[in-house]
Structure 1
Amino acid sequence: MSFFSGFTNIFSGAKRAVNYVVGADVQKIEENGVTDDPSRISTVFTCHSRLSEHFSRMPILIKKEEGSADVEDRNHRLFYLLRYAPNPLQNAQQFWSTIEYHRNQYGNGYAQVFRDKNSSYPTEIKIIHPLQIIEARIVKNGIIYKIQKENDSRSYTVHSNNILHFRGLSEDGLFGLSPLIALQKETRINERASSTIDNFYKNNATSPMALESELPGQLSGPAAKMIKEGKDEFKSNFTGPQNAGKIIHLPPHTKITKLAMQFADAQLLGTLKYTREEIAAAYGVPMYMIDGSAEKLDIEQMTLNFATNTMGPIAKIYKSEIERKLLTKKEIINGTHIEFDSSVLLEMDYTKKVRAVKEQVVNGLLTPEEGAKRLGNRPVSSKWAQYHYVQAQYIPLELYEQYNPLLKDKSKIKE
């Protein structure tokens, strides 16, 4: 069943509800002995891996407004839960990378929130596999998810207030579309091209040589049998990677003939490259992360583009859902918000990192103590290291008279 087949509308009296079949897997089609499973394509797997790994690298920051600044609130009730241990079985990296994989594979990532009975504060968050979501019923005050228990035929329902639902691109704003649906054509081409090349090599179809009999005419009887047995023995003993380097003994009355062949797999390799680029573009993953082609490329600029144009929108999906479901209305009004620290994705060499920190310190954006911490050095043990410093040679033109000592004492100015 396709992920988007079978959407049904249900009306009951004046109360409207919509019932979605949301748990079906991405469609797999078998044709001519080849099964199209998009998740088996190496480029798709690599895209999923890159997005999941990089997303889980970004620390979650819980910030609050203090005056005109945003400062991290490590004492917030959600800090440890989101940053380190969402549940007893998984650390934060495992948890968020799995959710992001589900979102890219199925278009939707789910997690159930368990709350304290007295305070209603979240105490644990567990991943729900998208295929466990067998139904989602839209009601007046939200969505009711019907979830199948693991290793059990029974199911239970949970209100959307206790389900973190991270969607991909959506047609209705409620359920995400899997990128694999849009890439179905490309993944099928890729699968067939890979299978064709695999069979070429498996059957030694790329061999540039052939055995040719030196005996004239159509052979029959003992002579034909001898030639056939000799060819079979030759194939068994001298072809394939396991026989590389052996001294070749030709069967009686045969010779090796060179073949002039145009190999179709060269064109298929070009097709594979083309479909790889399309798949990578759909996921927003740079090609150098797919095939390692980093020569003559500005890796830092491409990494910046990846962090800004790919990971930035993804982080916004998670930020919006976490804030809406896990923060209280009062906290949001008072300025508490969630951020993902994307700066960890912007790798640079040590010299550039020192230069960047130095510029922030001398321009008053960081204190010397904060700069030392950024570089992994021991903080300076002095209160003066906790101040912000800035050079004072610039003065505002509108207040020039106040800053110029000559103009302060007009008697010193010659007429």
Structure 2
Amino acid sequence: MSLSFKSMWPFGRKSAVADANAALVAGFLKGYASKTGAVVTPSTVMRVSTCFACVRNISEDMAKLPLHLYKRLPRGKERAVKHPLYPLLRSTPNSWQTSFEFVQMLTAHMLLRGNGYARIVRGYGGRVLELLPLQTGRMRVKQLENFELSYGYADSRGRVVQLDPPDVLHLRGLTLDGVVGVTPIEYAREAFGLALAAEEHGSRMFGGRVTGPGVLKHPGKLSDPAFKRLQESWRENGGLENADAPVILEEGLVWESLGLKLSDLQFLETRKYQGEEVARLYRMPPHKVGIMDKATFSNIENQSQEYVTDTLLPWALRWEQALARDVLTEQERQDFYASFLFNNLLRGDTKTRGEFYRSLHGVGALSANDILEMEDMDTYEGGDMRFVPLNMVPVDMAREAAIRKGGGSGAGS
């Protein structure tokens, strides 16, 4: 049975055959092997040290940022500590996780699988009681003909439970269809596959007899018993711990090295380049994952600031806007919003911070207590007073003073 273009058109009704084929293809691609033969999945790529470091660093750095719920004021904002959602975001989203663990887990899900999900448990009047993390691999998301999303979650017994969209917190990474997110793993499979293959090649080299590539030469034909004993001896005496153990060669067998070393095969260069490639996919500065070749004292601080603004900030915005869309009601969104506090990560060195605070304090923009709070230090009574230079006056007062000094006539001035 062939599918017409009409049945595949997104505004038309999807046929059961199309859905079945899509599910079948998705099942086959789930464990798709790269051209190197390495199977690239969210689980296997975590064996690549650079990928593990990227996921750990980004998820941990996001989790260590304070996440607050704020209330908008006519001028400025204040922390909405009395709102029932505030303690869930700030400390305990559920009975077994801290806010740090919750944010780190769902951020890691986005980095590896493109999406992060949590069940929103609501009580009387729509009050949020808990945020329960869900396994990404068990969730199936579809867009209906009316553009609403349908969430089906498979429980531990394999039964699919339909979840109402208002009860699901859905965090998306880069998305191409607006429904589900994608990850570098999906579109850079060969880069991850080559990194996995390079690690496996090195492991196999050291897991053998650490002799390097070579061949066993025999003047004639090796008998079956001798071949079997050679196999068993090589297997039993293999490994790094047996590198100096002798191997008995029978019937005139001679080992001949091919003269190739790992350096000749550019093994180390390949591993280093793949590390940089993975870091590039996650927009991670190389020095954050231990690649220090191009790092200097003068550019480390700039790279660290770029990491905050270019790498972490987009993930923070995804979190903040998803919380506003999924967790807050339409009425609450008018007055409340969630936001990460980036002050600690955006601070420069001591000298730069001092100059920054001095300039804002000198024009009355910051009080002493404002500066102490930004530095995570204790405030003091009377520290909320703001100061301005005594020799400075508003522009209007200066104009009036100039007119009076000129004899009271403002004409021509």
TM interval, short-chain normalised: 0.7 to 0.9
How large is the Cα RMSD of the aligned pairs? Answer: 4.4
SS in 2 for 1:198: helix
User: What residue number does 1:129 align with?
Assistant: 135
SS in 2 for 1:28: coil
Q: 1:202 to 1:136 in 2, by over 3 A?
A: same
User: What residue number does 2:398 align with?
Assistant: 400
Question: How far apart, in 2, do the equivalents of 1:369 and 1:154 lie?
Answer: 56
| One-letter amino acid of the structure 2 residue matched with residue 309 of structure 1 | D
Question: How far apart, in 1, do the equivalents of 2:174 and 2:257 lie?
Answer: 54
Say whether residues 1:379 and 2:384 are aligned partners. Answer: no
Fraction of identical pairs, as percent: 20
User: What residue number does 2:163 align with?
Assistant: 158
Question: How far apart, in 2, do the equivalents of 1:78 and 1:36 lie?
Answer: 41
Say whether residues 1:67 and 2:78 are aligned partners. Answer: no
Q: 1:88 to 1:268 in 2, by over 3 A?
A: same
User: What residue number does 2:30 align with?
Assistant: 27
User: What residue number does 2:251 align with?
Assistant: none
Q: 1:141 to 1:135 in 2, by over 3 A?
A: closer
Q: 1:107 to 1:391 in 2, by over 3 A?
A: same
| One-letter amino acid of the structure 2 residue matched with residue 115 of structure 1 | R
TM-score by length of 1: 0.75
Q: 1:379 to 1:401 in 2, by over 3 A?
A: same
| One-letter amino acid of the structure 1 residue matched with residue 164 of structure 2 | H
Q: 1:240 to 1:146 in 2, by over 3 A?
A: closer
Cα shift at 1:121: 1.4
| One-letter amino acid of the structure 2 residue matched with residue 302 of structure 1 | Q
User: What residue number does 1:388 align with?
Assistant: 386
Say whether residues 1:345 and 2:352 are aligned partners. Answer: no
Q: Is the 8 A contact 1:134 1:146 kept in 2?
A: yes
Question: How far apart, in 1, do the equivalents of 2:80 and 2:317 lie?
Answer: 20
Give the length in aligned residue pairs. Answer: 379
* 1:184-206 Cα shifts (integer Å, max 9, x gaps): 01011111122112222333446
User: For 1:97, which of 74, 99, 104 is the aligned residue?
Assistant: 104
Say whether residues 1:181 and 2:186 are aligned partners. Answer: yes
Q: 1:102 to 1:401 in 2, by over 3 A?
A: closer
Q: Is the 8 A contact 2:141 2:179 kept in 1?
A: no
| One-letter amino acid of the structure 2 residue matched with residue 296 of structure 1 | T
Q: 1:405 to 1:73 in 2, by over 3 A?
A: farther
Question: How far apart, in 2, do the equivalents of 1:177 and 1:364 lie?
Answer: 47
SS in 1 for 2:175: coil
SS in 2 for 1:126: strand
Cα shift at 1:44: 1.7
Cα shift at 1:272: 2.0
Question: How far apart, in 2, do the equivalents of 1:82 and 1:357 lie?
Answer: 30
Cα shift at 1:27: 3.2
User: What residue number does 1:194 align with?
Assistant: 199
Cα shift at 1:404: 5.5
SS in 1 for 2:174: coil
Worse-superposed segment, 367-376 or 119-128: 367-376
SS in 1 for 2:373: helix
Cα shift at 1:148: 1.4
Q: 1:362 to 1:106 in 2, by over 3 A?
A: same
Q: Is the 8 A contact 1:171 1:177 kept in 2?
A: yes
Q: Which runs of 5+ in 2 are unaligned?
A: 1-7, 214-218, 221-225, 247-255, 409-413
User: What residue number does 2:253 align with?
Assistant: none
User: What residue number does 1:168 align with?
Assistant: 173
SS in 1 for 2:68: strand
| One-letter amino acid of the structure 2 residue matched with residue 365 of structure 1 | A
Cα shift at 1:163: 0.5
User: For 1:36, which of 33, 39, 43 is the aligned residue?
Assistant: 39
* 1:8-63 Cα shifts (integer Å, max 9, x gaps): 989669xxx98985996973345899542344342222211111111112222222
User: What residue number does 2:365 align with?
Assistant: 365
Question: How far apart, in 2, do the equivalents of 1:33 and 1:310 lie?
Answer: 30
Cα shift at 1:338: 2.1
SS in 2 for 1:112: strand
User: What residue number does 1:111 align with?
Assistant: 118
User: What residue number does 1:4 align with?
Assistant: none
Q: Is the 8 A contact 1:26 1:106 kept in 2?
A: no
Cα shift at 1:274: 2.0
User: What residue number does 1:213 align with?
Assistant: none
Q: 1:158 to 1:71 in 2, by over 3 A?
A: same
SS in 2 for 1:173: coil
TM-score by length of 2: 0.75
Q: Is the 8 A contact 2:324 2:338 kept in 1?
A: yes
* 1:367-402 Cα shifts (integer Å, max 9, x gaps): 21232333344422x33x211222243456665343
Q: Is the 8 A contact 1:23 1:135 kept in 2?
A: no
User: For 2:84, which of 52, 59, 77 is the aligned residue?
Assistant: 77
